[in-house]
Amino acid sequence: MPRTRRPLKASRLGPRDVLHVGSAGLRSRPVRVVLSALGIAIGIATMIAVVGISASSKEQLIRQLDALGTNMLVAEPGKGVFGSEEVKLPKDAVGMVRRIQGVEDVGATADLKRSVRRSEKIPASETGGIAVKAATEGMLAVLRGRMATGTWLNAANGRYPSVVLGHVAAERLGITLPGRQVWIDDRYFTVVGILDPLPLSPEIERSALLGWDGARKVLGFDGHPTAVYERSTDASVRTVQKLLAPTIDPQNPHNVAVGDPSSALQAKAATEGAFSSLLLGLGGIALLVGGVGVANTMIISVLERRHEIGLRRSLGATRGQIRIQFVTESLMLSGLGGLAGAALGAAATGVYASTGGLPWVVPPWTVGGGMAATLVIGTVAGLYPAVRASRLSPTLALQA
């Protein structure tokens, strides 16, 4: 009996074969591969660096909030009923606030409307923006502050002409160590300490702080605070906030304004990265330009490799296999750019974080999203060249 011939079937390409034929074009043209992948790398690096720098800054703010706490409130004189009269907080405001349930620490400051200078030879107008305030002994605990050097105001030194400088005030006065003297209200005061930075209280950083009793004795301070600071338990913050004004001034609670110093940092942390959308858009444009470059490279590759395509087709390669070859080549080209871009973006974030003293944070979703975008662009960029290559006639390709 005559044997029946089975129709010939093209052999299937395994994953290893697909990678081999797909990388053949990349291996033969390394310079073009580098230049084509550069656009993809720049786009991915820009996007990852922008998000990473924003995330690092936000992480720094969150760590500051965790360290400083969000349970500090400040009560200050309001504007009064008519908004023009002078309002004063009662002298015993600190004791009244201390009796509120949930309050842990209380302190107060008072603006003394004096100038502080390095010496009497400096004009009174050149104060460097430094305020002079009286401060109670409990202020350091309320602020959760630390002394950079020296000691805080206490029952002993707070009764005499002594002063503690905020971080910024000390820099502007050029004083780095205790024992130096500054000129306040026609007499010298001895610097007994310098504070560390206080992110939640910039007004304290820019102040020269005198003891409460010393300000009364030496400068004739009337004892009315201009700001009362308190720390409460986390669970009672909102309750204390509602009770502060009526406790300090029961008859006229509208004369007391209550603020939350941590709200500025919280808002900044919540909106961190809002201004990075423009840079993200630029990174996206660079990524699209890189995709166009990959597509252009693949089209040129198809034109240059017509003989190869024709030979493969004449040896039995199907149109689908040709398409897979060129799509794979496009994906590998984009993937190389994506990997290089991810590494560059992470490195740029690390350099920025280390120079700025920030934690190095690169959200995993940015790397994953960037690589996914790279693969999508590689697929789209390779589709048209792959279809064009698969439609080449074997005979015409070999004759060209």
Residue 346 pairs in a beta bridge with: none
Whole-number Å distance between alpha carbons of 201 and 264: 11
Beta bridge partners of 190: 162, 181
Q: What are the CA-CA distances from residue 55 to residues 102, 199, 228 (Å)?
A: 34, 19, 34
Q: What's the pLDDT at 2? A: 57
121: Cβ–Cβ under 8 A, 6 or more apart, which residues? none
Q: Name the helix (H) or strand (E) containing 281.
A: helix 277-304
Give the pair of three-digit tokens for residue 188: 């010298």
Closest CA to 300 of 41, 25, 27: 25
Rounded Cα distance, 312 and 299, in Å = 18
Q: Where are the beta strands (DSSP E) in the chain?
A: 72-77, 103-111, 116-117, 131-135, 147-150, 162-165, 181-184, 187-195, 207-211, 227-232, 256-259
Q: Across the strands, what pairs with 184? A: 116, 187
DSSP E strands, 29-120: 72-77, 103-111, 116-117
**Nearest CA among 103, 74, 101, 93 for reference residue 258:** 74
Per-residue pLDDT of the chain (400 residues; tens, 9 = 90+): 455 565 545 556 667 766 777 677 677 777 777 877 787 788 888 888 887 887 787 777 667 665 556 688 888 888 755 555 678 899 999 999 999 998 989 999 999 989 899 888 887 777 778 999 999 999 999 988 899 999 999 988 989 899 999 999 999 999 999 999 999 988 999 999 999 998 778 899 999 999 999 999 989 899 999 999 998 887 888 888 899 999 998 888 888 888 877 665 555 555 555 555 655 666 677 667 767 777 777 777 776 777 777 777 777 777 787 788 878 888 888 888 888 888 988 898 889 888 888 888 888 877 887 788 888 877 887 787 778 777 777 666 556 5
Would the pTM of this model clear 0.85, i.e. be above it? no
Write down the domain spans for the chain.
Answer: 15-64+275-399, 70-270
At 319, phi and psi to the nearest 5? -65, -35
What is the rounded (10 degree) CA torsion for 122, 124, 126, 131?
Answer: 120
